Structure formats: C-alpha cells, structure tokens
Structure 1
C-alpha cells in the first residue's frame, strides 16, 4: 500500500474512532436523560392526578373521576392508567397499546427503555379511597432518541465525507514531492535521465529531492561518457574520418556477418577516379568535400533497402553491400550511382571515367575475401573498358529463382503454410536457458529455402506484415502446447514501419493472454535509425518483451538507447566472430556492452561457435550467447 493510502486510511480510521466514541457518549447520555425524564413525568402525573381525583372520590362521583383520568390519558404519554375504587370494589382502566410511530421496529426491539410505573394510594384523612397506578409509555422517548441520534449520525457522515475530500486534497498536495521522486526513480530505473524535480517547501523532502536530482544528473553524465567512449572507439576502429562512413575493417566484418547469416545480395565496389585528378588540381580540401557529398548521396540511396553496409575502402573507392541479387536491378543501381557521382562534377562531359563500378553477387559458401576479390576483378574489367561500365560477375545458383517466382513461392507458402520452423537456445553466460529464437524456412517439394534467401524478396514485395503475423501466430500456438518455453520471433523492417501491423498484433495477442509473457519480439536495428519516434508508442503499450537484433551495425543508436529501453540487445555477429583471435581489439565491444548495461538491457552475443569464443566473451560484459554451440532444433 502506498504512503498516501496509508496516511489517508489512518486518518480516516482515527476520525471514525472519534465519531464512534462521541456518538456512543451522546447516545448513552440522551437515553439516560429520556429515561429519567419519563420516570419523573410518571411520578409527577401520579401526584397531580391523585390530588385531582380525591374530591370526586370523597363524593363517590365516579363519572367525574373517569373524566379526569380520560383528560390526562389523552395526552398520549402513558401506556396505562388504572384507578381501583376500594369502596365500590371496581376499577377504571385506560390502556394505550399502539406502538411508537415513525421509529423502526428494530430500534424498538433493542429494549433501550424499561417500563416505568408508579402506584399511589388516595386517602381522605384515615380513609383509603382508592389505588392509582400509572405506567409510562416509552414511545415518546424512542421517538426523541431516534430523531436526535439520526440527525447526529447524518451530520457526522457529512463531516466524514467533507473531511475525506479535504484529506485527499491535502495529502496529494503535501505528498506531491514524494510522487515526483517515485516517478523520477522509475525514470532512472528505465535509464532515462535529465528531468529535474522542482524543490518542495518541506525541509526534509527538499533535501531528498536535491539528492535525487544530483544522482540523476550524475548518472546522465556517466552514461553520456560511456556512449562517447564507445563512439570514440568506434571511430578509431571502424570509421573513415573523411566520409563518416565505415572503413575497410568495418566492411569486412559486416560482409562476414552478412554471409554467415545466409542473406543473399551483392557487393558494389565504386571507384571514383575523378578524386585523384581533383586532388592534384584543386587540393585535398576540394577532394574531401566531394568525398563527403558522394557519401551523403550513397547514404540516401541506401535507405531504400531493408539492410545495407556502406564503407570507404581507400582514397577513391567505396563499397556497398545490398540485399539485391537480380542482375537487371543491380545494373540499374550501378547506373544510378554513376549518374549521382557525375552530378557532383562541374563539367562531367569533358571528364572521362568519373567513376566505375564492379559488382559481385554473393554465392553459396562465399567468404568475404573471395567476394571482395571477385568485385575487384569486375571493377578492373569496368575500368579497362574505359566507359564507366558496370560489370557483374555472377554464376547461377542452384535453385535460383526470379523475382516473380520468389513472390509466388512466398505467397503460396503463406497460403498453404509451407514454413518449417525451428528454434535455437539463448543461454546466459553460465549456460542457463533464457529463451529460444525462432528460425524459419520454406519447403517446396524436396527443396528447402532458408530465410536469408527469401527475406529480401519479402521486403521488396512488402509481404513482411503477413509473414510476421503468420509466424507469430504459429509461435503462440507452440507456446500454448509448451508451457515452459520462451520463444523470440524476428520482425521484418516492413512490419515495424506499419501502424496497421501493430494494431493487428494487439488483436492477435489478445487471443492468447496466457502465453504473451513468454513471447519475445526482435526488431532490426535499422528501423530505430529512421523510425524511432514512430515506434515509441506501440512498443510502450506492447505487453510482451522485445529486443534489438544486429545491435551495433548503426552506431548512432548507442546514444539513443535510453529512450528505447529494450529488454535485451543482440550484438551483431561482426563484433563477436573474431573475439578469440590474438590481435582482436575488444575495447569497442566492451564499451558497447557497458553502454547497453547502463540502460538496463541484457547483452546477447550471436553466432558463438566455439568454447574459446565463449570464454573471451565472459570477460567483455556479455550477459548471454547463442550460436552453433547449441544448434537449432526443428519443431515437431
């Protein structure tokens, strides 16, 4: 129970106790007073009535005596008046058997008032004329007690309600600083800093608020320092200072990760030969300005792809990795890049060989060195033709499909549920199972297509929303059948960018309320680079845990993690695949993990294949891992 409620309940209970005490005292006092008043009235009436009846009894005027008794009895305050005439051996009796009016029966049944009666012997000298008996009626006493106590209770209840309202307002006002401190504590817990609480007037709370504000500011500074440290290490290890793009080391690591994921695509080597001439004629400043302009154009162009890697490999060469393997579309892409670069030259007509591009399509069982070698060979052929031509080296893959065939296959798989699902364990650094990640493939007859081969087509044809909802529904059914399992599902970029997808997801999750706590969603890192603000609301309202996949490919996200508050981040394979090598520089990976920890996110290393890798990762602030040390298991 909150302090606010504790104080409110305590004060209200004290008020009730005071009311009950005062009411009890007043009730008892009023009851005693009315009982005493009734007894006094009966005695006084008996005395006065006896004096009035004596003259009539002395003359044996029974009719006159009866008239006097009737006059007194009609006042209604007596239950019984009886006069025994001793000389005539008869009596005159009047009784009132009507119960008290306007008083509840249960109140009368409490028996609050005893019967009050008084006997008097009427005499004349030494002669006894008669015996007078008067019994009081408690109806008036009950009526007066009921009316008085009802009014008192009404006023007490009214005062209680008013006091309750005033207490609520007063406590909210006085405890507002504590509420602000509570909200600030939750913000700090979610690694959100910078909000300053206004200082209250209460001295004790004022000091607490000062301490909270100071702590929040210090934590914000510490996180910024960690993020800045990671950024500096990133620039030192993976960034080209002139263009702001990745360098050769970054591109090699990304291509290794790309190939190991099984994602199809191609490498484009872009040689801007005009840069050498520009350096000689106008100096390095003009050359650097053109490099920055080309880098900016290439970055804008790459935003059309679901994923990409862009780097500057040397003084005049850029490299681009895209999820596209169609020869015609790659040719058009190369021509578009050449046109954009040519637009940076003042007179491109008089300048031959402004840029040439060589393209190599990723093949099965490729390695990054082989891929770059083929792309470099294609680039040399393009340069030899002296026409800025784009040359593509491509050998037809087995089971390679065209774009329209891919679309038909994916739609057929969605309609007929041709997906084969499996899952791979994610364990903490000590080997305890945390959850399992869901993997999917399409089986078409005897041919199985891995996710990496058809996901680029899913993005191109905007089928991600249907695919993700289908896989999530199958996963939820698996969770229903397996009560102890936790499963993580990867979302496509297209789904994450659609407001309708999040609405459909909410409707789907509402059908499985008992298993949602065991479902996890993984969003690709790239969607946060361009759509972070649009994702904040649906993720905040989501009743399932979520994480960021391929974390670290886009370094700008490091300083924005506090706004996102993911439950975990999966480090990109390019940062963990070479950790066991003797010359590996682990400073950047450690800095990324520390930044994630400071934001409350669990760090998970991916594609861990050997025990030596795992041993090194334990020293680099990594919390968990997954990889082929625990191969995926097919669902039955």
Structure 2
C-alpha cells in the first residue's frame, strides 16, 4: 500500500473513532436526559393531578374527577392513568395503546428507557379518598432520541465526507514533493537525468529533493562526459583531423560491413594531386583549407545517398562508398565531383580546368575488400594516365542486369502479390545465451529467384517506396507472430517510411489494433536517419511509446555526430555498427572507442548488441567491451 493510502486510511480511522466516541457520548447523554425528563414529568403530573382531584373526591363527584383525568391524559403523553375511588369502590382508568410514529420498531425494541410510574394516596386530613397511578409512555422519548441522533449521524457523515475530501487534497499537496522524488528515482533508474524537482517548503523533504537534484545533475554530467569521451576516442581512432572525414580505418570498416550485408554499388577513389602543389607554393594552411573545401563538397554530393561513407585515405586521395543498384549513377556522381572540385579554384580567365581524377570500382558478387580496393587503385591509375578530370571504372559487370525501373517494378510487384521470403537471425545475451529477439530479413522471391534487401533497398529509397514496403512487411509479420507464440521479431524501418506522414498515421492504427504484440514486435531505426531527421524520429517514437512498443537503433556509432540522442530518445537497445565490431579480430586492434561508445549506451540503461559476430572467439572478445548481446553468423538465420 502506498504511503498516501496508509496516511489517508490512518487519519480516516482516527477520525472515525473520534466521531464514534463523540456520537456514543452524545447518545448516552441524550438518553439519560430524556429518561430523567420523563420521570420528572410523571412525578409532577401525579402531584398536580392529585391536588386537582381532591375536592371532587371529597364530594364524591366522579364525573368531574373523570373530566379532570381526561384533560390531563389528553394534554400529555402517558401510557396509563388510573384512579381508585376508595369510598365508592369505583375505578377510573385511561390507557394509551397507540404506537409512536416515525420510529423504527427495532429501535423501540432496544428497551433504552425503563418504565416510569408513580402511585400516590389522595387524602383529606386523615381520611384516604383514593389511590392515583400515573404510568409514563416512553414513545415520546424514543421519538426525540431517534430524531436527534439521526440528525446528528447525518451531520457526522457529511462532516466525515467533507473531512475525507479535504484530507485527500491536503495529503496530495503535502506529498506532491514525495511523488516527484519517486518519479525522479524511477527516471534515474531508467538512466534519464537532468530533470530538476522544485524544492518544497517542508524542511525534511526539501533536503531530500536537493540531494536528488544534485545526484541527477551529477549523473547527467557523467553521461555527457562518457558520450564526449566516446566521441573523442572515435575522433582519435577513425577521424581525419584536417578534413573532418573518416580515415582509412573507418573506411575499411564501413566497406567490410557493406560487403557483409551483400550491398551493391561501388567505391570511388578521388585523387586531387594539386594539393601537393598548393602545399609547396602556398603552405600547409592553404592546403588544409582546400582539403576542408573538398570534404564539404563531397559531403554535399553524397548527402542524399543512404549508407554512403566518405574518408580521406591519404594526403591527396579521398575514398567514397556509394551503395546503389545502378552503376551509371556512379559515373554521373564522379563527373559532378570533378566539376565541384574544379570550381573551388578561382581562375582569373574565367575558365574551369579539371583538378582531380576518379577511379571507380564496381562491386562484383565475389569481391572482398582487397579485390575491390585493387580494382579501385587500378582504375585510379588509368585515370591519372589519361588526363585531369578523367573518370575510369573497373568491375561491376555482374551488376546492371536490372535497371532502376526494373527494380522499382520488382518491389511494387512484391508489395502487391506478397512475394516475401523471411528469415530471422537471433540476438542473444552474452551472460546466459538467452535470446533477446530475432531480426527479420526480408527477401523477394519471384520467378524462381531470390532478391535480397541489399539489392532492392536502394530502389526503395530512390522511388520513395519505403512507406508502402514497411507497411507490407509489418502486415505480413502479424500471422508469423500469431503462429509462433515465443517469437520476438525486430524489424528495420526504412528512412523513407520514417519521413512519411502517411506511414506515421498507419503505424498508429496498426499498433493500436495489435496491442497483444507490444512485447513481441520491435522496430529498428537507422542511426543516420535519427541524426538527419530527429524531429520525424521523435514523432515516430512518441507513437511507439503511446502504444507501449519498444524500439532500437541500428548501425549505432557509424556517424560522427553526438551520442546525446540516446538520453533524449531513450531506445531500448542499440546495435553497434559492424564496421567497428569486425575489427576486434585484427592484430593490435584499438578497442578503446568501441568500449567507450558501448559504455555510453550501457550506462544509459540501453542494451548494446554487437552485429555480424561470426565465431566464438569474436564472442569472447566482444563480451569484455560493455556489450550485453551479440548477433551474427555464430547463430545462423532461420526461415520463418
């Protein structure tokens, strides 16, 4: 029972006892008063009646004596008046057999008032004239007692109810700081910090509130320091200090993750050899300014590419990872990049000469990191041998068999005809191996061929089919969850769906119609979309929280932005980007950043899950880095 209810119950019980004792004292006092009043009335009536009857008894006037008796009997409330005339041996007796109105029979049966009677001998000198007996009727006393006590009980009940309401309001007001302390303690337990409780006037509670506010502030500062530490470590390990882009280690990790996911597209190597000339002629400051300008241009060109990565891999070279289903777009992108870099140098003659060359390596199905980089280097060497502004491509012959319109038609056909094949890969805890959930992988099966997400997702984003695609997948998973009662699925949501008002409205209706799935259906949002469209993500998270569904972050730690969104959005879990987890197996790998970024999430009360874990040795290494769970080929995906 809550403290509020305990205090309320205790005070109401004390008030109830007080009211009961007061009522009993008042009841006893009123009853004794009415009994005494009845006795006094009977005695007085007998005395006055005796004096009035004596003259008539001396004369033997029975009629007048009876008239006097009736007058007194009718004017009062008596049960019996009896006169024995001793001289004539006659008896005059008057009885009242009527009950009292307005008093319950059970109350009359309590026998609260004893019978009151008075007998007296009427004399004249030494002569006895008669015997008078007056018996009081207790009905009037019962009536007065009943009316008085019922009125008093009514007032007591009204007073008790009013007291209860006032007491509830008073306790709510007095205990409000305590409720705020409780809520703040729960927020701290959930690792939500920074909210300040207003200080109450009560001295004891004021001191507790001050302590809680201080603790919450320190924990919030500690979380921010940990997030900043993770960012500093990431900058040291994966960031190029001059350009602000990733370095070679970062790019290698991102390419490995992209290859592991079966993505299509290619990588671009951009060489700007004139940077050496600028350094020799104008110094390192001018060269660094040009490096930053080129980095900004590259960021601008790839801002709309989902899953892209940019890095500076040497003093004069940049590397770009560009997922796409159509290699022709890489040629177009390369031409635009050459033009943007050429525009960075002001030519007094108004002519724009090319300053860079680009080598493109399109990914073939069997390419690994080494072969892909080799093709890119070869293409870049050929471009250098041609001219400035040259763009040379190698590889990618297995791609392009389907154009972008064909991919769009495939996705639309799959949505219309439900051409899905699903697999689910378990995510398990490090400590006891229990399954946290299973991540859903969707493929399209048509005409005997399977098309995987890495192949058709670029078309989904290009043609803005994310909302329709995610609606179809979520709808298709409902029967799967109903069929397998122990299955918990995590489903990735595309950036296009997150930015769609139509999808947001549909999702609210969908979740509201399936409340039984709130602990079995999880949504995963990519970190890049969270950072680019935080307002849209906040709206989607609000819908999830309204219906009690949980969500997580995919590709956690991939982007070079603040990790402060963890505290603000409070996801249930994060999946660490494979570009980092895959490097723990490399000799001399620096795991400081990975440990820091996982600790930042872990200390915020968020589960951390490593992805693309391939063997038990990798499981053992990752378990030491503040990571709660793992997911990957060590537990293969199973069809559902």
Q: How does the TM-score come out when normalised to structure 1?
A: 0.91
Q: Secondary structure at the match of 2:75?
A: coil
Counterpart among 559, 562, 571 of residue 566 in structure 1: 571
Deviation at 1:51, TM superposition (A): 3.0
Provide closer, same or farther for how the CA distance between residues 376 and 59 of structure 1 changes in structure 2, counting only shifts above 3 A: farther
Distance 1:416 1:466 in 2: 13
Distance 2:322 2:291 in 1: 20
Distance 1:418 1:294 in 2: 44
Deviation at 1:279, TM superposition (A): 2.7
CA contact (8 A) 1:269 1:376 kept: yes
| 1:442-461 → structure 2 map (5 Å cutoff) | 442-461=444-463
**What residue in structure 2 maps to residue 403 of structure 1?**
404
Counterpart among 494, 497, 507 of residue 495 in structure 1: 497
Q: Secondary structure at the match of 2:243?
A: coil
Deviation at 1:464, TM superposition (A): 1.8
Distance 1:593 1:318 in 2: 29
Q: Secondary structure at the match of 2:425?
A: strand
Listed one character per residue, the Cα deviations across residues 430-484 of structure 1 (whole Å, up to 9, x for unaligned) are: 3222221111111102101111111221222222222223322333332222222
After alignment, is 295-304 or 489-498 more displaced?
Answer: 295-304
After alignment, is 149-158 or 502-511 more displaced?
Answer: 149-158
**What residue in structure 2 maps to residue 221 of structure 1?**
221
Distance 1:378 1:74 in 2: 131
CA contact (8 A) 1:115 1:135 kept: no
**What residue in structure 1 maps to residue 441 of structure 2?**
439
Q: Secondary structure at the match of 1:556?
A: coil
Distance 1:547 1:291 in 2: 36
Provide closer, same or farther for how the CA distance between residues 10 and 117 of structure 1 changes in structure 2, counting only shifts above 3 A: closer
Q: CA RMSD in A?
A: 2.7
Distance 1:27 1:281 in 2: 112
Q: How does the TM-score come out when normalised to structure 2?
A: 0.91
Provide closer, same or farther for how the CA distance between residues 42 and 366 of structure 1 changes in structure 2, counting only shifts above 3 A: farther
**What residue in structure 1 maps to residue 204 of structure 2?**
204
**What residue in structure 1 maps to residue 558 of structure 2?**
553
Task: Note if 1:585 corresponds to 2:603.
Answer: no
Task: Note if 1:417 corresponds to 2:418.
Answer: yes
Provide closer, same or farther for how the CA distance between residues 141 and 268 of structure 1 changes in structure 2, counting only shifts above 3 A: farther
**What residue in structure 1 maps to residue 294 of structure 2?**
294
CA contact (8 A) 1:274 1:354 kept: yes
Distance 1:70 1:535 in 2: 97
**What residue in structure 2 maps to residue 469 of structure 1?**
471
Deviation at 1:239, TM superposition (A): 0.4
Listed one character per residue, the Cα deviations across residues 390-416 of structure 1 (whole Å, up to 9, x for unaligned) are: 333354437942222222221221122
Distance 1:114 1:147 in 2: 16
CA contact (8 A) 1:78 1:136 kept: yes
**What residue in structure 2 maps to residue 323 of structure 1?**
323
CA contact (8 A) 1:80 1:95 kept: yes
Deviation at 1:549, TM superposition (A): 0.9
| 1:152-551 → structure 2 map (5 Å cutoff) | 152-347=152-347, 349-350=350-351, 352-386=353-387, 388-397=389-398, 400-429=401-430, 430-540=432-542, 541-542=545-546, 543-551=548-556
Q: Secondary structure at the match of 1:578?
A: helix
CA contact (8 A) 1:425 1:626 kept: yes
Deviation at 1:295, TM superposition (A): 1.9
**What residue in structure 2 maps to residue 623 of structure 1?**
628
After alignment, is 332-341 or 437-446 more displaced?
Answer: 332-341
CA contact (8 A) 2:191 2:604 kept: yes
Q: Secondary structure at the match of 1:514?
A: helix
CA contact (8 A) 2:422 2:441 kept: yes
Provide closer, same or farther for how the CA distance between residues 12 and 607 of structure 1 changes in structure 2, counting only shifts above 3 A: same
After alignment, is 265-274 or 156-165 more displaced?
Answer: 156-165
Listed one character per residue, the Cα deviations across residues 46-77 of structure 1 (whole Å, up to 9, x for unaligned) are: 33223323433443434333332332233353
Aligned residues: 632
Provide closer, same or farther for how the CA distance between residues 83 and 385 of structure 1 changes in structure 2, counting only shifts above 3 A: farther
Listed as ranges, the gaps of 5+ residues in structure 1 are none
Q: Secondary structure at the match of 2:130?
A: strand
CA contact (8 A) 1:119 1:132 kept: yes
After alignment, is 464-473 or 166-175 more displaced?
Answer: 166-175
Distance 1:119 1:28 in 2: 24
Distance 2:635 2:538 in 1: 34
Deviation at 1:31, TM superposition (A): 2.1
CA contact (8 A) 1:66 1:92 kept: no
Provide closer, same or farther for how the CA distance between residues 337 and 66 of structure 1 changes in structure 2, counting only shifts above 3 A: farther
CA contact (8 A) 1:81 1:95 kept: no
Listed one character per residue, the Cα deviations across residues 531-590 of structure 1 (whole Å, up to 9, x for unaligned) are: 224433542424122111111101424243222222111111111123223222211111
After alignment, is 286-295 or 200-209 more displaced?
Answer: 200-209
Q: Secondary structure at the match of 1:558?
A: coil
Listed as ranges, the gaps of 5+ residues in structure 2 are none
CA contact (8 A) 2:54 2:129 kept: no
Q: Secondary structure at the match of 1:243?
A: coil
CA contact (8 A) 2:525 2:551 kept: yes
Distance 1:534 1:574 in 2: 26
